Amino acid sequence: MNNLGSLIFLASVLLFTTFLNWYVFQAVKTLTSNLEGDKIRNSINVVYWLIFSGISLWVIITFIGIFSAGEITSATQRVLNVFLTVLVTQLVIVLILFGEDIFRNVQAGFSLVFNGTKDFSFPSRNTWVSALAITIAAFPFFSFIYGVTYGKHNFKVHKEVIYFEDLPDAFDGFTITQLSDIHSGSFKDKEGVQKGVDLAAGQNADLVVFTGDLVNHKAEEIDPFLEQFAQVKGKYGQFSVLGNHDYGDYISWPSQSAKEDNLKNLKAKHAEMGFRLLLDEHVRIEKDGQEITLIGVENWGVGFVKKGDLSKAMEGTPEDGFKVLLSHDPSHWDEEVKKNQNPVHLTLSGHTHGMQFGIETPLVRWSPVQYRYPNWAGLAEEKGRFLYVNRGFGFHAFSGRVGIWPEITVIELRKKQ
């Protein structure tokens, strides 16, 4: 981000947080209005502004540090956790107060129309609405606290059975365990990571695949966890592709050669974990004299690096053969894969993390990331071509998970009878 862009961003954050602080203060002021003694009320008001103005200033200084260093460190990650927790909590309060303000303005308008200006007074805030706003906001507040302490290691296994008419008979019941978005640079708790590794290894899959973003920026980030992820094995092997973070594009390097060496080192890390890295290429998986084709492309995403070459990766694959594609960014499926003349039966992606925040219940399924990615988690299908988007194993920037839990995917291929 250039200097002007950084200044605009910082000014926007400062103005927005100040607005939120002021709006939420209206609820605090309403709730303390009935307290006896100006000294108590004034003390509460001063403490409120010291805390939340201090948080806003802390966040601004942190963003300056991020822009200067070119990366998110452990210290800045903690500040981002606080910022997002406070931000979401305040937004909930503001939305409720804003609804009350609309009602008060309508009420005032009716009063002016029917009663005139004589003895007119603008309706005051209701104490119960302010109390309700703060009570409801406690739910996202404590959810974020849970998310940064336990939620980030609350691993879930998502199982899908997908039926295909042209699946080779030998692969009926074939299982694929998918991991994605490990983001090892964000990990600090090896025991927490091991819980996810044990779940993945315990699936005893025929094939294990990893769909990109092994690190945040640097190859060395995976070093403390190499032995752990090497425990995840498939009967027919382990394969992987690169994600947008793996290229080291989001930090400053002392030289271009240093950046290139980092990528070379990262590719070697995949081999150390026992994964074969597919770089715009394909392999044949053979079982009982029959085969399917596994294809892997470099990252290709709308708004991100477009290194992947699908045509090159699929060169020499039979048009009537069964094909599974590993492609980090699900926008690749929307833009290229599902339109390809040589059909790909199943594409496995990650990238979105489900934004690490949202609601998934049998009745409600929502995350802010859905406004950027139409296919942001789970299974999608169009004309017999399938996409599965993994919610991610790790986390980045916000070191937590709220409602969108870290995922191990198990897909079972079945022959449609």
DSSP string, 269-313: HHHHTTPEEPSSEEEEEEETTEEEEEEE---B-TTS-B---HHHH
Chain mean position to CA 235: 30
Give the pLDDT of residue 290: 97
Return the pLDDT at 71: 73
Residue 66: enclosing H or E segment and its boundaries?
helix 38-69
How many CA atoms lie less than 13 Å away from 364 in the CB half-sphere?
6
- Residue 251: how many other CB atoms lie within 10 Å: 14
Q: Helices 3-32 and 127-149 meet at what angle, rounded to 10?
A: 130
Identify the DSSP state of 402: B
pLDDT along the chain (417 residues), means of 10: 80 94 95 84 93 93 82 81 95 96 89 74 89 96 96 98 97 98 95 98 98 97 98 98 96 95 98 98 97 98 95 95 98 95 96 97 94 97 96 95 98 94
Per domain, the residue ranges of the chain are 3-149, 156-415
Strands 365-366 and 359-360: antiparallel
pTM of the model: 0.91
pLDDT value of position 111? 80
Q: Are 238 and 376 in contact (CB under 8 A)?
A: no
Query: Can you name the residues that pair with 293 across neighbouring β-strands?
Result: 284, 323
3-class DSSP state of 392: coil
> 58-94: string of b/e by CB count within 10 Å (b at 16+)?
ebeebbeebbeeeebeeebbebbbebbbbbbbbebbb
Looking at residue 77, its pLDDT comes to: 84
Look at residue 173 in the predicted model and tell me its pLDDT.
Answer: 98
Q: What span, in angstroms and rounded, lies between the C-alpha atoms of 184 and 377? A: 21
Amino acid sitting at position 311: S
Distance separating alpha carbons of residues 241 and 257, to the nearest angstrom: 22
Contacts of residue 380, Cβ cutoff 8 Å, sequence gap at least 6: 333, 386, 387, 388, 389
Tokens of 190: 């090896």
Annotation: CATH topology of 156-415: Purple Acid Phosphatase; chain A, domain 2 (3.60.21)
Q: Nearest CA to 273 among 184, 362, 353?
A: 184
Amino acid at 139: F
